[in-house]
Structure 1
Amino acid sequence: MQRFPDNLGLATDLLLHTETGMVELRDDYIVVRTPEAPEYFFGNMLVLRQRPSASDLKLLEHDFGQLVGIPPLIAHRTFAWPENADSEVTFDAFVERGYDATVCRVLVAHPDEVIQVATNPLVKVRPFTMQQDWDDWFQMQLADMSNPTSIGSQRYMAHQQRAYRSLIERGLGNLWGAFIGNVQVGSLGLFFLDGIGRFQTVITGARHRKRNVCKTLVTEVIRLAATRADRLVMVADETYHAGAIYEAMGFRQQGRLASLCQEPGNAKAR
């Protein structure tokens, strides 16, 4: 946490990883490892102090192999770092090497600053209470992944379910569902670490989008559960519309979080 006080997205990521995996502070990196889930790309990564340059890539890949792992156990490479709020970010040299680049906005609000927005009166919100809730969550999350039928995707989701249930059992938060009748149409996680509420895996089912499900879910969860936090944190991909929804609700950008991920089989020769 103390390493990134100006980037609550990265700081809370590391707090969550400390609870569900292993985090090691080193001179040049923060090493994140989740030994029981080698397919978890962002649970097995190197966190950098700043944006890398193309000339850093050979050393970064070497150090990733030494500190995180190599194939066949660790078949990907992931690097993440705090990014400046308004800088232009280009990753052409990394993309040419088979990396996917992502830049996210880190959005922060005090619970009292959240604005009431249009909601869907048909949507009821409650924490997960039964196995069916988890089963429906698993299928919805899996369907939203790029390769939902792969064994790696299914093992990753099974790990995420175990990790979230462990956090819930320790009283650190909950997963919440949005329901129309008995059908789960969306969900999110909200976990509390050092007085900060961090949202996780906010999703609306494909057939129920553009019906204010997300707005209803976030608004209700904050109303019901956010008294434990003095700050609430969302991390939203800059290329998706969700960030605009959260900003309309009163969240404000605090910083950005960038990453490079080379998925298995995507490495390209120099």
Structure 2
Amino acid sequence: MNVSSLGFRTDLALLTASGSLVEDRGTHLVVRSPENPTYFWGNFLLLAQPPVPGGEKEVVGAFHTEFPTADHVSIGIDTADLSDEARAAFEAAGMTVDVASVLTAERLEAAREVEAEVRALESDEDWESRARLSRHVDGRTAEEVFMTFARRKNAQERRLVDAGRGRRFGAFVDGEVVSTAGVFVTEEGVARFQSVETHPDHRRKGLAAAVVHAAGQHALDRLGVRTLVIVADTDGEAIGVYRRLGFADVERQLMLERRSGDWAPGEERRGGS
């Protein structure tokens, strides 16, 4: 299966580089992250096309066959063209339909000065602070369950750092990470942002723009990157921040999700990437 979506193509590149497995079934891909089974968008199906009318429940059933112990269902479609009838059918099957915006930039506008230290994450404590930030952003899932997920996600990203693919930057206030953004090379000349997060008590202070700018400028200046890729909710506040930094919309990315168990409702673990 050839993946045409820039959003999914860069997703898959980073997942496989950090240890995830991708199985090609012709009409769809099965993506697995065995070391982090509760990572929604590390354990999902990617369809080449929407299912034929009436096939939505079959697709959800196929996910359960591949991931029989999962407390979630995550299905991507390599096209943003979903008919109203198909959307309604997926929603009737309990899925939430999300169409995100994929944006790119070849240069960045300057971010304003902020009252925080902005730098790359280095130490184990820096990364643990990043996990605590993710927990604050989530705010709903049981702490032990969430922190297990967050630490496993950190381990995946640190493999990318160790391989020289990029860095995660943070805005530090009183020694704690209160805003963060990661960026990693997916192919020659292209880098993708991952998990832009800001503590609820530190929003609207320019911190997200500062860490995105710092991470993106690092990629442009130090990693030979010509194109930066970021994904955001089409109607969220973050997309305005990215556009002001110079990002422009290039496509839409279609994702369907259902949460249950410990994760219902849970954190938006893919957003802002």
Q: What TM-score, normalized to structure 2?
A: 0.85
Question: 1:150 Cα deviation (Å)?
Answer: 5.2
CA distance in 2, matches of 1:89, 1:205: 38
CA distance in 1, matches of 2:144, 2:54: 35
Question: 1:3 Cα deviation (Å)?
Answer: 2.4
Tell me the residue number matched to 1:226: 220
Moved more, 222-231 or 166-175: 222-231
Question: 1:93 Cα deviation (Å)?
Answer: 2.8
Moved more, 221-230 or 253-262: 221-230
Amino acid at match of 1:78: S
Tell me the residue number matched to 1:136: 129
The alignment-based identity, stated in percent, is: 27
Q: 1:51 to 1:252 in 2, by over 3 A?
A: farther
Q: What's the secondary structure of 2:240's corresponding residue?
A: helix
Question: 1:128 Cα deviation (Å)?
Answer: 0.9
Question: 1:104 Cα deviation (Å)?
Answer: 0.7
Q: Which runs of 5+ in 1 are unaligned?
A: none
Assess if the C-alpha contact under 8 Å between 1:85 and 1:256 holds in 2.
no
CA distance in 2, matches of 1:192, 1:232: 9
Assess if the C-alpha contact under 8 Å between 1:39 and 1:155 holds in 2.
no
Assess if the C-alpha contact under 8 Å between 1:82 and 1:256 holds in 2.
no
Tell me the residue number matched to 1:215: 209
Tell me the residue number matched to 2:267: none
RMSD: 2.4
Assess if the C-alpha contact under 8 Å between 1:28 and 1:49 holds in 2.
yes
1:124 to 107, 117, 124: 117
Moved more, 202-211 or 93-102: 93-102
Residues 39-54 of structure 1: pairs in structure 2 closer than 5 A: 39-52=38-51
Q: Deviations over 1:197-222 (max 9, x none)?
A: 11011111111110111112222222
CA distance in 2, matches of 1:107, 1:49: 21
Residues 133-212 of structure 1: pairs in structure 2 closer than 5 A: 133-145=126-138, 147-149=140-142, 151-180=144-173, 182-195=175-188, 196-212=190-206
Assess if the C-alpha contact under 8 Å between 2:118 and 2:214 holds in 1.
yes
Q: Which runs of 5+ in 2 are unaligned?
A: 265-273
Q: Deviations over 1:83-132 (max 9, x none)?
A: 4489889733322332222211000111x3x2224x13423321112122
Q: What TM-score, normalized to structure 1?
A: 0.86
Assess if the C-alpha contact under 8 Å between 2:183 and 2:191 holds in 1.
yes
Question: 1:35 Cα deviation (Å)?
Answer: 1.7
1:99 to 89, 95, 100: 95
Moved more, 139-148 or 246-255: 139-148
Tell me the residue number matched to 1:115: 109
Question: 1:76 Cα deviation (Å)?
Answer: 2.1
Q: What's the secondary structure of 1:253's corresponding residue?
A: strand
